Amino acid sequence: MVQEITLPKYGQTMEEGKIVRWLKSEGEYIEKGEIFLEIEGDKSLLEVESEYSGYLKKIVAKVDDVLACGEIIAVLDINT
């Protein structure tokens, strides 16, 4: 089963975020609760924790992309 990962919204005023750095690459395993991404939102650097365990199947959002909160940034394979 695949799970779409979306850009999280941290705080009521955050409307968009910038992808700063992926800490995992496509094909790597991510544990639930593990930090796998850094984003910039509302002028602060934020670490994103995974809500699921699985393999990072596809990275949709690239470094320096600015996306609205809720947009798909990656796809995680949680079957394994």
Look at 62 and 79; give whichever has higher pLDDT.
Answer: 62
Q: What is the pTM of this model?
A: 0.89
Is residue 32 helix, strand or coil? coil
Yes or no: say if 39 and 46 are a contact pair by the CB < 8 Å rule: yes
Burial of residue 57 (CB within 10 Å: 0-12, 13-18, 19+) is middle
Please report the domains of the chain, with CATH numbers, ordered by start residue. Answer: 2-77 (2.40.50.100)
Q: What is the pLDDT of residue 11?
A: 82
Average pLDDT over residues 55-78: 97
Q: What is the pLDDT of residue 80?
A: 52
Tens digits of residue pLDDT in 11-56: 888 899 999 999 999 999 999 999 999 999 877 899 999 999 999 9
Q: How far is CA 27 from CA 5, 46, 55, 74, in A?
A: 15, 23, 6, 12
Yes or no: say if 57 and 75 are a contact pair by the CB < 8 Å rule: yes
Q: What is the pLDDT of residue 43?
A: 78
